Amino acid sequence: MSGADTSHQDYVGLLYRTHHAWLQALLRRYPGSSSYAEDIAADTFTQLLTAGQGMSIREPRALLTTIARRLIYQRWRRRDVEQAYLMKMQHEAPAYSPSPEALTQVDQALQVVEAQLQGLPQKVRNTFLLSRVNGLTYPEIAAQLGISRRSVSDYMSLALGRCLINDAVLPKKSPSITRDSL
């Protein structure tokens, strides 16, 4: 390990000792994140540790807050996608009870989709999820989101293009999941 690596680790270690308790207290105030405050705080420092070497941080609390908020929002999005999927499954097949293995596979597939849609505008992600998870038609999506049908089509093309590009770049994390395979 080089001296630069050690100094970066030492710097992040100092930030951890100085700001970890403060960050956890801050995270407990966010709705729905108090039970995850310790995990999110740890993930925040992990991201900081894996970030570029030799970073000089003028406002460490501002940076830590930004990273932690991003992690909270990712958890909320994942939870919303999971809930939308489960609601859809309940409406389509109320007598159906998937196995824990099938639910794990679905969760892994949803995480892959979430990673692929990362960085797209919220309306694009919402359009994609309404189409693929909720099964809405383009006119229904347009009405629900208050956008034109053309925008729905453009957003879907953008999201599908991102999934195709990422599918070619990212390794397969889980098998293809379809409703019939459950």
Of 47, 78, 97, which one is at a domain's C-terminal end? 97
Q: Which tens digits make up the pLDDT trace of 72-98?
A: 888 888 888 888 888 887 777 556 677
**pTM greater than 0.75:** no
Please tell me whether residues 112 and 65 are part of one structural domain: no
Of 41, 64, 97, which one is at a domain's C-terminal end? 97
**CA gap 42, 170 in Å, rounded:** 25
CATH assignment at residue 104: 1.10.10.10
pLDDT at 10: 85
**CA gap 145, 124 in Å, rounded:** 10
Please tell me whether residues 18 and 85 are part of one structural domain: yes
**CA gap 128, 135 in Å, rounded:** 10
Range of the domain at 113: 99-182
**CA gap 115, 163 in Å, rounded:** 9
Q: Which of 2-11, 68-77, 96-105, 168-177 has the lowest mean pLDDT?
A: 168-177
Please tell me whether residues 45 and 59 are part of one structural domain: yes
Please tell me whether residues 117 and 36 are part of one structural domain: no
**What is the dihedral sign for C-alpha 38, 42, 43, 45?**
positive
Amino acid at 61: R
Of 97, 113, 134, which one is at a domain's C-terminal end? 97
Please tell me whether residues 180 and 149 are part of one structural domain: yes
For residue 4, pLDDT beyond 60:
no
Residues 24-29, mean pLDDT to the nearest whole number: 88
Domain count, the chain: 2
